[in-house]
Amino acid sequence: MNLFSGLTITGGVTISSPTGAVNGAVVGGPVTYVGSGVTVGTTNGSPFGSSVNSYQLASQPGSAPFNCLTIPGSSGFAFGTGSFTIEWFQYETDGQPYPRVFWYTSSAGASYPTWGVDLEGTFYFWNASAISLGNAGTTASTWVHYAVVRNGASALAAYRNGVSIGTGTDSTNYTDTTSTLYIGSKSNGGAQSEQFSGSITNIRICKGVAVYTGAFTKPTSALQATQSANPYGGSNTSAITSGQCVLLLEP
């Protein structure tokens, strides 16, 4: 099933066709590359093998435009009051102290996004404030799988390589359908120290399902838009049914 919906290049990469830049799927696109330091490849290796590429975000400049990916808002990013899951694999290269991995907002450099993820030693999930979910662990020069999950109306949890980082409470009603999702940047604003440099792949956002409900077996292959429960063995991984995956990037 081809879920690819479009790709726009504004800097950093030249390709002959959109499908030449990905070996997976995009749900909810199109994707725009911002800045001149975004490429696709396996510079830092791969979490799965040489056949699976990643987005490469070069060392960030001192001021905007920063290197990032952007995706227009959609109803899929308005989680409402129910469950959601945001997950990805990353390989950070420069160890910036406050890197924003995701920032869904309408304002450049906004302090408070609609929602966002920030790894500054502590795993923070942002909305109108920064919700601390525990120690994010070592993030530089290694491939790490991260996930943040809301199970039901308020139970928030973060995971690193399938192991719980910590939990928190978030009862926000997310209704924003029109902001921009920034990947690797604090909405293309803020300080250099707030941007992400390195590789990122297999970004999956699901609405209406807590994909992980406890310690789980880390994915060992490219993620899919639908899956059965516990596809890699173990436990605590829910099935994803048609329509629940609102974004899947597998460059």
pLDDT at 20: 27
Is residue 14 a part of any domain in this protein? yes
**Domain assignment present for 2:** no
Q: What is the mean pLDDT of residues 71-96?
A: 94
Number of domains in the chain: 1
- Phi and psi at residue 18, in whole multiples of 5°? -55, -40
Residue 12 confidence (pLDDT): 36
For the chain, percent of residues with pLDDT exceeding 70: 88
Calculate the alpha carbon distances from 225 to 45, 117, 207, 222 in Å.
Answer: 24, 21, 12, 10
d(CA 90, CA 221): 14
Q: What pTM value is reported for the model?
A: 0.90
Identify whether 1 is part of a domain.
no
Q: How confident is the model at residue 3 (pLDDT cuts 50, 70, 90)?
A: very low
| Contact by Cβ (8 Å): 38, 55 | yes
Return the DSSP state at 237: B
Residue 237 is assigned to a structural domain of this protein: yes
User: Over the chain, what is the mean pLDDT?
Assistant: 87
Residue 139: what pLDDT?
83
Residue 51 has what pLDDT? 76
Over residues 160-200, the pLDDT tens digits come to 999 999 999 999 999 999 999 999 999 999 999 999 999 99
36-57: b (≥16 Cβ within 10 Å) or e: ebbbbeeebebbbeeebbbbbb
63, pLDDT greater than 60? yes
What's the alpha-carbon Rg for the chain, to the nearest Å?
16
How high is the pLDDT of residue 11?
35
Give residue 200's domain range.
7-249
Residue 153 maps to which CATH number? 2.60.120.200
Residue 12 domain flag: yes
Output the pLDDT for position 25: 44
